[in-house]
Chains A and B, each alone.
Chain A
Amino acid sequence: DTAVSQTPKYLVTQMGNDKSIKCEQNLGHDTMYWYKQDSKKFLKIMFSYNNKELIINETVPNRFSPKSPDKAHLNLHINSLELGDSAVYFCASSPSTSTDTQYFGPGTRLTVL
């Protein structure tokens, strides 16, 4: 069984479009995250949610909006996509904010043309 899953795995789209990436975890964790990995493999946290509430929001354009319908899901919606948004986006989860190990999804490779 997949612990942290993301859909789609690959996403190719035109500049200016709006797209969403979905993330689900079946680990019963309270906290979920979105990371962006650029072409040089550098990983940077974007958002963190605990029990559906936003707790970390790094300097990310407001075109990016996370949505957590329940604590097992954290979706990432991106408006008006730009070329610089091309990256691999990883979802992760951890048991709680006071517990450290994070478990990562397989990633979504977004290409903006």
Chain B
Amino acid sequence: GDSVTQMEGPVTLSEEAFLTINCTYTATGYPSLFWYVQYPGEGLQLLLKATKADDKGSNKGFEATYRKETTSFHLEKGSVQVSDSAVYFCALIEPYNNNDMRFGAGTRLTVKP
């Protein structure tokens, strides 16, 4: 079945460091891919998404490129801030499959000043 694997955390970085959170997926078709972010004590917010191969999703300085050949959707940011501290979830959904969204386990990011 469909599944998402993301790098285990926690990840601790200093402010202005480069961030990569790896995400790979397994799917039978051509899924849409997402990154959601959960700030402390809050619900999930959509961070970015990509719906087809080679698409790049971007938002708030974060980017991820849909790589079909490596079945990956790694999240990157060039310079993290303390306010980026949160849990990040990679997810996929196969359209026309009843919107059954599959999430990765989540990666906790802590950015220190």
Residues of A with Cβ closer than 8 Å to B?
31, 33, 40-45, 48, 50, 55-56, 90, 92, 94, 97-107
Contact = CB atoms under 8 A, between A and B. Distances in A.
A60 to B, nearest CB: 14
> 4 nearest interchain CB pairs?
A41-B106, A43-B103, A104-B44, A106-B43
Nearest to B99: A97
B80 to A, nearest CB: 19
Interface residues of B, number: 24
A31 B101 CA distance: 13
Mostly helix, strand, loop or mixed at chain B's interface?
A: strand
A47 B45 CA distance: 20
Contact of A40 (B32, B51, B105): B105
Contacts of A94: 99
21 contacts: A41-B105, A42-B105, A43-B44, A48-B99, A48-B100, A50-B98, A55-B98, A90-B43, A94-B99, A97-B99, A98-B95, A99-B95, A100-B32, A100-B95, A101-B34, A102-B93, A104-B36, A104-B43, A106-B42, A106-B43, A107-B43
B87 A41 contact: yes
Interface in B28-69: 32, 34, 36, 38, 42-46, 49, 51
A19 B32 CA distance: 35
